[in-house]
Amino acid sequence: MGKIILTGDRPTGRLHVGHYVGSLKRRVELQDSGEFDEIYIMIADAQALTDNADNPEKVRQNIIEVALDYLACGLDPAKSVLFIQSQIPELCEMTFYYMDLVTVSRLQRNPTVKSEIQMRNFEASIPVGFFTYPISQAADITAFKATTVPVGEDQAPMIEQTREIVHKFNSVYGDTLVEPDILLPDNKACLRLPGIDGKAKMSKSLGNCIYLSDTEAEVKKKIMSMFTDPNHLRVEDPGQVEGNPVFIYLDAFCRDGHFAEYLPDYKNLDELKAHYMRGGLGDVKVKKFLNNVLQDELRPIRERRKEIAQDIPAVYQILEEGSRNAKAKAAETLAEMKRAMKINYFEDKELIAFHKDIIRIHKTHKEFLTGSLKYLYAEYNVIGYGRFNKEAQSVILVNNNDYEVTKEVSVWYLGIPKECVLNCLMLTTSEGYSTEPKQYPVISG
């Protein structure tokens, strides 16, 4: 089994540094590691619409913003399939069947959905689509047989729920789907980067994000206004580094090399933290250092973004081609699922043949007929021959060519109920018999 990545983002705004350290940077590393056979990166517009139904323009505008952020960070369409969720209708079909495998109470227990409902003041007026988005997310992941889902910590309940759905599906319908593993950032500070206001989560509506596309001046302004330890009023006061956003950002972004370049009085972050805790180190000095560190990281992304944005049609083309490839893969998985669920009626030759084939049997050529019938058994899925068996739904009747094969004759000959005679096959050779069955048209009525 191959190693396959699927992950994605809702296009409700430009991506920020929280997305970057939480998942985006890791994706690029994984992509370039060459360890994965397939990589799918999805812009989850359909999921974004679950709580933005009345604001489709916002979602539409942000698709290109997210795509630019992806490409600027180093996601490479030659190595990763970049696509738009709504262009893969197979995902909706899968979601519909997964809904049968999940209870309302299980959805209500999903902690991420719970807190999102609270944040959005939905209470009793939760859109059904929003409430059930973890199920559609399971379709996103399983459609590509993803083994690995690199995401932020807040997505852990979704992966857990996906694993449950896979387990249930496979145990009911047989082994078909793959249980995915979550891949969280190794660095604890990257798990959940706080907003610049110290709030637990960066969010567009709180206005506390540093975007990948922010200008140098915007980034600097945001860093210099960042929340720190509220009790660290004077430079000489001892300060706290735990829970202090400036230090959490440094944990996430800075390397020892940055000290040599921008703050040579210290060898590493531990020394800087120790000084801050002791007292005598001002916020402004730390923030200026963080600004240097962050600008180093964001500058190449910003520049690449600007360059790529020169040719927007090319970006849409990447997404269109990616969506085409993603659709092909999802269709393959969906076909397997439907086969497992036995809702592939028109592909199911056994099902069709079973109701169709009726052949007459001649009383006097038992031995010959026994041999032929073995062949017919294999070919036409017939239950038995001879007198009509009440349990059988269809019967082979073999004719030696003496009789016209008609429904009336069949009914008369073997006492088969009329409604069971749908079609006739006959055996004939130059001597009167053949081992090749010949198909007669359906006798209706």
According to the binding rule CB under 6 A, does residue 9 interact with ligand TRP?
yes
118 near 106, Cβ under 8 Å? no
Q: What whole-number distance in Å separates Cα of residue 428 and Cα of residue 413?
A: 19
Helix (H) or strand (E) holding 437: strand 437-439
According to the binding rule CB under 6 A, does residue 143 interact with ligand TRP?
no
- DSSP assignment of 187-218: SHHHHSPPPTTS-SS--GGGT---BTT--HHH
According to the binding rule CB under 6 A, does residue 137 interact with ligand TRP?
yes
Q: Which of 149, 210, 298, 416 binds ligand TRP (CB under 6 A)?
A: 149
* Residues whose CB falls within 8 Å of the CB of residue 412, separated by 6 or more in sequence, listed in order: none
From 4-12, 75-83, 95-103, 320-328, span contacting ligand TRP (CB under 6 A): 4-12
In angstroms, give the least distance from the CB of 11 to ligand TRP: 10
Instruction: Give 17 or 405: the residue with its C-beta nearer to ligand TRP.
Output: 17
The footprint of ligand TRP on residues 304-343 (CB under 6 A) is none
- Residue 427 in 3-state DSSP? strand
In angstroms, give the least distance from the CB of 19 to ligand TRP: 8
Q: Quick one: how far is CA 3 from the chain centroid?
A: 14
According to the binding rule CB under 6 A, does residue 7 interact with ligand TRP?
yes
What does DSSP assign to residue 425?
E
Instruction: Give 65 or 229: the residue with its C-beta nearer to ligand TRP.
Output: 65
Q: What whole-number distance in Å separates Cα of residue 207 and Cα of residue 222?
A: 10
Q: Which of 151, 178, 184, 426 binds ligand TRP (CB under 6 A)?
A: 151
Location of structure tokens 């600004």: 291
Q: Which residue is nearest to ligand TRP (CB)?
A: 44
Burial class (CB within 10 angstroms; exposed 0-12, middle 13-18, buried 19+) of 233: exposed
In angstroms, give the least distance from the CB of 47 to ligand TRP: 5
Q: What whole-number distance in Å separates Cα of residue 67 and Cα of residue 74?
A: 11
CB atoms within 10 A of CB 428: 15
* Residues whose CB falls within 8 Å of the CB of residue 260, separated by 6 or more in sequence, listed in order: none
The footprint of ligand TRP on residues 10-29 (CB under 6 A) is 10
From 137-145, 247-255, 294-302, 349-357, span contacting ligand TRP (CB under 6 A): 137-145
Q: What whole-number distance in Å separates Cα of residue 440 and Cα of residue 445?
A: 15
According to the binding rule CB under 6 A, does residue 301 interact with ligand TRP?
no
Token reading at 429: 């050779």
Q: Which of 45, 51, 90, 140 binds ligand TRP (CB under 6 A)?
A: 140
Token reading at 289: 């250092």
Q: Per-residue b/e over 320-343, b at no fewer than 16 CB within 10 Å?
A: eebbeebbebbeebbeebbebeee
In angstroms, give the least distance from the CB of 162 to ligand TRP: 8
What does DSSP assign to residue 419?
G
Q: How far apart are the first and last CA of the chain?
A: 52
In angstroms, give the least distance from the CB of 219 to ligand TRP: 23
In angstroms, give the least distance from the CB of 132 to ligand TRP: 13
From 6-14, 55-63, 302-310, 382-390, span contacting ligand TRP (CB under 6 A): 6-14
According to the binding rule CB under 6 A, does residue 163 interact with ligand TRP?
no
Instruction: Give 90 or 357: the residue with its C-beta nearer to ligand TRP.
Output: 90
Q: Which of 14, 15, 40, 47 binds ligand TRP (CB under 6 A)?
A: 47
In angstroms, give the least distance from the CB of 42 to ligand TRP: 6
Token reading at 124: 């009793």
The footprint of ligand TRP on residues 102-131 (CB under 6 A) is none
According to the binding rule CB under 6 A, does residue 8 interact with ligand TRP?
yes
Q: Of 437, 443, 429, 442, which Cα lies nearest the Cα of 377?
A: 437
- Count of residues engaged in binding ligand TRP, rule: CB under 6 A: 13
Q: Which of 4, 5, 6, 91 binds ligand TRP (CB under 6 A)?
A: 6
According to the binding rule CB under 6 A, does residue 273 interact with ligand TRP?
no
Token reading at 417: 């109920």
Q: Which residues bind ligand TRP (CB under 6 A)?
A: 6-10, 44, 47, 137, 140-141, 149, 151, 155
